[in-house]
Structure 1
Amino acid sequence: MPASATNSLRVAVLADSDTRWKWGALTAQRLTPAAAGFRLDGYLLRGRATPTARQLREVGVRADFLREVTGAEFLRAMTEESYDVLVLALVGGGVQAMLHGLRAAWGSGPRPVVVTGYVGVVYEKLVDGLLLRHGADLVLANSRHDADRFRAVYEGVGTDASAVTEVALPFLGGAPYTGEHDPFTVVFAAQPSVPDNRRDRIYLLGRLIEHARRHPEREVLLKLRSKPGEHTTHIEELPYQKLVQGQDPPANFRLVYGHMGEVLDRTDLLVTVSSTAALEALHRRVPTAVLTDLGVREVLGNHHFTGSGCLASWDQLDAGHRPVPDEEWLARQGVAAGGTPSGGGSYDAAFDAARERIAKLLDRPGGLPPLNPYYTPETAPGYLPGILARHHLGPDGVPLPGAPAADKAPGPVRQIVRRAARGAYRHGVQRVAPVIRRMGEL
């Protein structure tokens, strides 16, 4: 049951990885009017990518309540707790499963406003991902560009597009870039799964190290997402920590971890293939280069930056080139410093429309109607049941008999077994799978 009768808003976030917790928690913070009280309850969906305590601290948003849950336990909690807003910070299939599970759990009774969206650049599975998110009250688009695409998809399949709400990425911000640091600092923002093969990753690492050798007066940093043993949205088969062994990099080259915003505070040139870090840097006017060395291809995601003015090669960067971004492109992406996605005003104003929409939904006479996803057993009988089954839900959204649950905190033995299983999965992905592929020439 919603708690909107009180002055303090209660918001819950369900996340399945470190990056989605970051997006969900910061989105929840942005969606809450500054004048309103704010309580944040966090639920971490149990799986291979459940974030560690360090990863949670790195986000910088403190939850009033935080626990790890199974899907069934989360659905039960949503019938026992009262919230105003629920943010589903999950992969598309997870969002769809929870929408059906929540529809079954809440029925036609009182419920919170349900919000979902994307962590960063949407460069693949646009239609699939959007239809899996349909049914939430707000589907957040991080830019005017995305909002236009999202509405076109929903309207194109003949479903309601009114949930699409233009905002901005919630983690933009920080002090604008004012000039070179001493020493001049180049940062390469690594990605767990782009590129996805040893040859290309070794190539990028080699060029980064070579740039450090060519420019001994510069500090060259390889910014990594996770430390060894940690899990993230994508399991890295070929972590750079492993690839750098035996490379003998110069003294001005090193690996760094931590909050991207803090790294950008000392960055003079941000280099990446297609990381969302590029948008963070551009928002702060930090010179940013999106690499073309491996081609401009959809599989890499750097095609998203065509028209940005940021595409460049390592040869150009070695020679001193510093890309100049296109202002119109920046405005459409919602990352122009000091501007909203629609142009003009402050960055904070980018969330005004979402706040207003939530307020209207909370004040709706008679409460909110039941959730109504586009996918149903009638519209997608060959697709939806499999998605629900992966989350231990039946075709009606009700947890299946024997669905994993955690009625009480796991004991020490269970925790050890769980950590061991996650470690075995990561070992299999990073060490066993590559060997099998090489042996089979796959």
Structure 2
Amino acid sequence: MTASNTRPPVARPVRILAVADSDSYLKWGAATLATLTDVGVLELVLLRSPILPSPDQRAAAVAGTPFARVDVPVLTPRALRAHLRMTDPDVVLLSATGPVAELVVRIVERADARAGRRRPTRATTGSAADRAVEPDAGLRPTTGTERARASGAAAPRSRRPALVGGLPGMSYPATLRALRFRAGQDAFVVHSQRERREFAAVADVLGLDLSVALAPLPFLPAPHVVTPRTQVPPDSEPLDAMPHDAAPRDASRTATTCGAPGHDSASLRAAPAATHRATAATQGAPLSRVVFAPQAKMPVTRPHRVQILEALARLAAARPGVDIVVKVRGLAGEAQTHHEDLPFDALLADLVASGSVPQGALRVATGPLSDQLVPGSALVTVSSTAALESLAAGVPTLVLEDFGVNERMLNAVFLGSGCLGTLDDLAAGRFGVPDQAWLDDNYLHMSPSELPALVRQLADARRAGSLVPPAASRRDGVVLGRSRRRLARTLVRSQAPTPVLTLLALPRSTRQALRQALRPAGRRVIAR
């Protein structure tokens, strides 16, 4: 036998198509594809929607990925259907908001049915040897095919693309709504051990046969033990991540604001404070920059947002040599994944115009966050995936708790992190040092990604025709909500003319005011 005959067969490349629809999902999709370069052929498209990112937002989202120099195409649902037929991908990565992910699942499902690719196969109960290998397979089948085999019914077959979805950042707590939108997918990607436990439980409640795969957040640096790299400026007060005597005060207040059932908030805060709140490492760079990363949805009110900007201004006055940056995802008027009714750049302009904040004390920046997290920087946020990026980069991080720590504020995940603090801490230049155990259970774990192996497995199943139609992956009795109405609304929004998309991108309050103004006078009276 020659040497050439002993070579293992070359694995066929997997064709992977990612479909995104907004700035944060585009960033997650491009970065996730970048982790799969050894798996196969990668492609990224945008589906047209009212939250389509601007050219500048697109450039920032794909920076540092294989798509940095690629003009990502924008497709309508009809064009996406044609593209799926033409390229025939093995796996579709649904990097999109819930309604759009649901629409793409339905597009794949209908295309598969119309192409006549469903091929019922004669079900078998398996041999005695098979039953010996998997004695419990019939107790809780995990796929539509297994359920059919266990019941003796015909198992539907499909050569459709495998469907994999996920959320672009922190996804705690897991919600029924998130998985309802994604019913019919084959797998769901999570980014922490805690998320895996929570989403697996939610999938079970909904009756979804869904593989939950663990992968590091793709846009974070490689997992490592986080050490701060910003030191105390020699000519200023220490950057001391909240002093030890602050823990009892903060713990008691957090216990009243977060209200998390079944948890002792005081113990969650006090434990990391004693061990991990210490002066930043002296081998790092002096503090030269503080970056504020806003969260589009929180805080809700204008006064709360103004308080943050005023605290940053106080810090700028106390440390004139420190660059204070408000790093926004998009400028006022640009679409984002979550609409922002009170953009921080517009609020800052108002405060400067009124004299509440000195001209030049704070500056606004766009683009990739990594460009701002240079040695000597620190980061503050209310709740944002940006906190994870800064922690991964070894940057001291402060998560504000003044407005509450709870699920509604989207920051309950930071309980026990060692990074919660107040506006007064921000004004004094005190930032958090994270608890390593918290990082391990959350987003900076050391576990390798399960996604490459999962993608190969799904591609093999697809080529073998052993996938089931999306509808077959839902158990009997699953309540998916008003899916037809949602799908119709998403379809219309994805194909509407540009002026209509512009109108849909306006804040809800603005659209309601326009509708009221356009009504005839008589109807306005009746409406009241």
Interval containing the TM-score (normalised by the shorter chain):
0.7 to 0.9
1:13 maps to 2:18: yes
Q: Out of 374-383 and 245-254, give the one that drifted further.
A: 374-383
1:168 maps to 2:226: no
Mapped to 1, the partners of 2:512 and 2:303 lie a distance apart of: 16
Letter in 2 for 1:360: Q
CA contact (8 A) 1:141 1:164 kept: yes
Mapped to 2, the partners of 1:405 and 1:386 lie a distance apart of: 14
Helix, strand or coil: the match of 1:193? coil
Letter in 2 for 1:50: L
Q: Which residue of 1 aligns with 2:145?
A: none
CA contact (8 A) 1:218 1:252 kept: no
Larger radius of gyration: 2
Mapped to 2, the partners of 1:404 and 1:310 lie a distance apart of: 40
Letter in 1 for 2:198: R
User: Scaled by the length of structure 2, what TM-score is found?
Assistant: 0.68
1:38 maps to 2:41: yes
Mapped to 2, the partners of 1:28 and 1:119 lie a distance apart of: 13
Give the aligned CA root-mean-square deviation in angstroms: 3.1
Q: Which residue of 2 aligns with 1:50?
A: 52
1:326 maps to 2:435: yes
Q: Which stretches in structure 2 are left out of the alignment for 5+ residues?
A: 1-8, 119-157, 232-284, 517-528
Q: Which residue of 2 aligns with 1:236?
A: 340
Residue 384 of structure 1 and its aligned partner are, at CA, apart by 2.2
1:179 maps to 2:230: yes
Mapped to 1, the partners of 2:488 and 2:475 lie a distance apart of: 14
1:120 maps to 2:169: yes
Q: Which residue of 2 aligns with 1:215?
A: 319
CA contact (8 A) 2:312 2:426 kept: no
Mapped to 2, the partners of 1:242 and 1:153 lie a distance apart of: 39
> What is the correspondence of 1:233-272 to structure 2 with a 5 Å cutoff?
233-248=337-352, 249-250=357-358, 251-266=360-375, 268-272=377-381
> C-alpha offsets along residues 246-266 of structure 1, whole Å, 9 cap, x if unaligned?
423344421111101111124
CA contact (8 A) 1:271 1:289 kept: yes
Letter in 1 for 2:46: L
Residue 272 of structure 1 and its aligned partner are, at CA, apart by 0.3
CA contact (8 A) 1:290 1:310 kept: yes
1:99 maps to 2:105: yes
Residue 207 of structure 1 and its aligned partner are, at CA, apart by 1.6
> What is the correspondence of 1:13-412 to structure 2 with a 5 Å cutoff?
13-33=18-38, 36=39, 38-40=41-43, 42-58=44-60, 59-60=62-63, 61-63=65-67, 66-107=72-113, 108=118, 109-123=158-172, 126-161=175-210, 163-173=211-221, 178-180=229-231, 181=285, 184-248=288-352, 249-250=357-358, 251-266=360-375, 268-335=377-444, 339-340=445-446, 342=447, 350-351=448-449, 353-364=450-461, 366-373=464-471, 379-380=478-479, 383-392=482-491
Letter in 1 for 2:365: V
Mapped to 2, the partners of 1:284 and 1:215 lie a distance apart of: 23
Q: Out of 318-327 and 174-183, give the one that drifted further.
A: 174-183
> C-alpha offsets along residues 188-209 of structure 1, whole Å, 9 cap, x if unaligned?
1012221122122112222222
Between the two proteins, what is the percent identity of the paired residues? 29
CA contact (8 A) 1:143 1:334 kept: yes
User: Scaled by the length of structure 1, what TM-score is found?
Assistant: 0.81
CA contact (8 A) 2:316 2:324 kept: yes
Mapped to 2, the partners of 1:204 and 1:53 lie a distance apart of: 29
The alignment covers a number of residue pairs equal to: 398
> C-alpha offsets along residues 16-62 of structure 1, whole Å, 9 cap, x if unaligned?
101101101111221332xx55332x221111111122222212235
> C-alpha offsets along residues 151-176 of structure 1, whole Å, 9 cap, x if unaligned?
11122344324x11011211101897
Mapped to 2, the partners of 1:39 and 1:158 lie a distance apart of: 32
Helix, strand or coil: the match of 2:72? strand
Mapped to 1, the partners of 2:26 and 2:164 lie a distance apart of: 14
Q: Which stretches in structure 1 are left out of the alignment for 5+ residues?
A: 343-349, 393-402, 407-413, 438-442
Q: Out of 277-286 and 317-326, give the one that drifted further.
A: 317-326
